[in-house]
Structure 1
Amino acid sequence: MAWLKKFVGAVIVLGATAAAAGWVLSAPVRLDAASVAQLGPGDAAKGKRIFYAGGCTSCHARPGAKGDARLELVGGLELKTPFGIFVPPNISQDQKDGIGAWSEEDFANAMLNGVSPLGENFYPAFPYTSYARMKPADIADLYAFMKTLPAVAGKAPDHKLLFPFNIRRGIGLWKRLYLSPEPVIALPDGAPDKVLAGRYLVEGPGHCGECHTPRDFAGGVKKAEWLAGAVAAEGKGVVPNISPGGNSIKSWSESDIANYLETGFTPDFDSVGGAMVEVQQNMAQLTADDRAAIAAYLKAVPPHPNGYPARKPAS
């Protein structure tokens, strides 16, 4: 029986080693001092543009809010996914229930690394996997603008997640696979400045790929099928393929795309609908140059077939 004792002992040692390695690898990683130094004081006027590019109101405004009430970022919207229900938190300037007590460094750690001031991993329902591509100066500007918004009391409900997704520490391992500040699409040397600007807006603050790209079994974006469309996160319907290989905007010109983002009308005079209504309202707040850059980038990305199963015709 000596061999059995040795075998059991080896299994225990290996298990303990794996657990220790997992604990270390899943630890939240904060920004280093050099990255923090790049933040700067921030400009609220510039931050307003980043706020709308990032679509903060779409998830964090009170559900159903209209007009100026959309700037009361109390959270509470329920996002029903295969992993459970995610509830965006209060990110108003309330000192207790919101983020009013956060420093600029706290804010940057959340946006770029998905780490809370308490040193916990945020769930990637908060699209920091896209925000990680943002410039530190833009993060500082956004923080300055957020400081101008109202403080609203009221804590949003907790997430309701299934096991093992309710183990927040495990997100640290997920980040090692899916969190990167590198651009998704490697544009050729000499790419026009407009296309480069569009890449930044789409892949970074605009986080368009979070909805328009299919995901793998672990919930990570399939970058090889960038913007190919996807089954909607809540499992009902699909999000369109907006690469040049899809039919949704394949025939649209750059000016058609830019006009759609500004007005909400397609070239055929149909109007924006569904979840895209909120996105279009945010895009309308950007500059004409921003919308033109987004359009130029969408025409420059690689084409892909639809990233979702063919829909059955109505019977």
Structure 2
Amino acid sequence: MKKAVIAALLLVLAGAGIGWGLSAPTRMSAEEAAALTEGDAARGEPVFWAGGCASCHAAKEADGEDLLKLGGGLRLETPFGVFVAPNISPSETDGIGAWSLVDFANAMTHGTSPGGENLYPAFPYTSYARMSAADLGDLFAFLKSLPVVEGKAAAHELGFPFNIRRGLGLWKRLFLDPAPVIAEPLNGAGVDRAVWERGRYLVEGPGHCGECHTPRDFAGGLVLADWLGGAPAPTGEGKIPNITPVEGGFGSWSAADIAYYLESGFTPEYDSVGGEMVHVQENMARLPASDREAIAVYLKAIPPISAGSD
């Protein structure tokens, strides 16, 4: 009996040790870090708008130049608790002013803070993990050029077990993957591959469209088999639409319709953009027309998802 108890205890300890190792925060490899170069703020501005940084990190009703004051504080209410967007201004005490480029890239692509903590995926690093080293450098340069905002944002409001950051390391092993979601265009023969791939990069990477438009499983991971097929709103009110080319829905929009919507906020039926999509559309309107067109080409050539369509 005593031997059985000892054996069981050893198994528990071994399992705990394995779990502790697997949940450790990860960082860029030496080769990945070496690929980072000092960026250019002017090139970083469109990356900033594509990434929607101001939508979460500026004040809730911010407009104009105030969109560039990234003091955080926005409350994101989810089934897992309330997440509060942090200060990402160049403040050295309260923001990211003391971060190195490698620190920033680790947060963006690995969800790991400079202090070695796992970050919560309310920050969409599962999408930002697909960003290029060049864009990361340029975005960091732009963020460092913005106004300093003093003051730390409030802490997250999370109950057990979601307040245990270490466990996120296991979550990231399941759901953090920098590989493209859609490998090939649906109708490759009729698509300019370079344009489609640019659209894929913007949608799957900095644009992080899947974070809202794709349903999640019980653990909060994206169900990639239903990529962009629509999902319940994170707030629990309403639904975020299916934006795959499904018949009778978004598939009736042409690529030109999609590009114009992203530029103007008007649908083919002359309805105007509403809800949280207002911020997204306003960000997309700041991109080059070629990027909006690339996004449209991508969305027209991905698998249609009938489940969850509107």
Shift of the alpha carbon at 1:268?
1.1
Q: Counterpart in 1 of 2:123?
A: 126
Q: Counterpart in 1 of 2:236?
A: 235
Identity %: 62
Range moving further from structure 2, 276-285 or 36-45: 36-45
Q: Does 1:67 align with 2:64?
A: yes
Range moving further from structure 2, 175-184 or 239-248: 239-248
Letter in 2 for 1:259: Y
1:112 pairs with 109, 113, 123, which one?
Answer: 109
Residues 247 and 38 from structure 1, CA distance in 2 versus in 1: closer, same or farther, beyond 3 angstroms?
Answer: farther
Q: Does 1:29 align with 2:29?
A: no
Residues 248 and 146 from structure 1, CA distance in 2 versus in 1: closer, same or farther, beyond 3 angstroms?
Answer: farther
The answer (yes or no) to whether the contact 1:240–1:248 under 8 Å persists in 2 is no
Letter in 1 for 2:241: P
Matched ranges for 1:114-263 at <5 A: 114-187=111-184, 192-245=193-246, 247-263=248-264
1:98 pairs with 92, 95, 106, which one?
Answer: 95
Q: Counterpart in 2 of 1:298?
A: 299
Please state whether the residue corresponding to 2:259 is helix, strand or coil. helix
Shift of the alpha carbon at 1:306?
3.3
Shift of the alpha carbon at 1:244?
1.1
TM-score (norm 2): 0.96
Instruction: Name the CA distance, whole Å, in 2 between partners of 1:246 and 1:281.
Output: 27
2:37 pairs with 30, 34, 40, which one?
Answer: 40
The answer (yes or no) to whether the contact 1:81–1:234 under 8 Å persists in 2 is yes
The answer (yes or no) to whether the contact 1:228–1:246 under 8 Å persists in 2 is no
Shift of the alpha carbon at 1:247?
4.6
CA RMSD of aligned residues (A): 1.3
Instruction: Name the CA distance, whole Å, in 2 between partners of 1:82 and 1:159.
Output: 13
Residues 129 and 247 from structure 1, CA distance in 2 versus in 1: closer, same or farther, beyond 3 angstroms?
Answer: farther
Letter in 2 for 1:46: R
Instruction: Name the CA distance, whole Å, in 1 between partners of 2:247 and 2:27.
Output: 39
Instruction: Name the CA distance, whole Å, in 2 between partners of 1:280 and 1:138.
Output: 21
Please state whether the residue corresponding to 1:79 is helix, strand or coil. strand
Residues 5 and 247 from structure 1, CA distance in 2 versus in 1: closer, same or farther, beyond 3 angstroms?
Answer: farther
Q: Deviations over 1:108-127 (max 9, x none)?
A: 01001111000101000000
Please state whether the residue corresponding to 1:160 is helix, strand or coil. coil
Instruction: Name the CA distance, whole Å, in 2 between partners of 1:292 and 1:111.
Output: 26
Q: Deviations over 1:127-153 (max 9, x none)?
A: 000000111111001001111100001
Please state whether the residue corresponding to 1:80 is helix, strand or coil. strand
TM-score (norm 1): 0.95
Shift of the alpha carbon at 1:246?
6.4
Residues 162 and 70 from structure 1, CA distance in 2 versus in 1: closer, same or farther, beyond 3 angstroms?
Answer: same
Q: Deviations over 1:77-104 (max 9, x none)?
A: 1110000000110000111111111111
Q: Which runs of 5+ in 1 are unaligned?
A: 311-315
Equivalenced residue count is 306
Q: Deviations over 1:241-279 (max 9, x none)?
A: 001126542211100000000000111111000000000
Instruction: Name the CA distance, whole Å, in 1 between partners of 2:209 and 2:24.
Output: 28
Q: Counterpart in 1 of 2:51?
A: 54
Q: Deviations over 1:168-207 (max 9, x none)?
A: 0000000000001100001157762111110000000000
Shift of the alpha carbon at 1:307?
3.3
Q: Which runs of 5+ in 2 are unaligned?
A: none
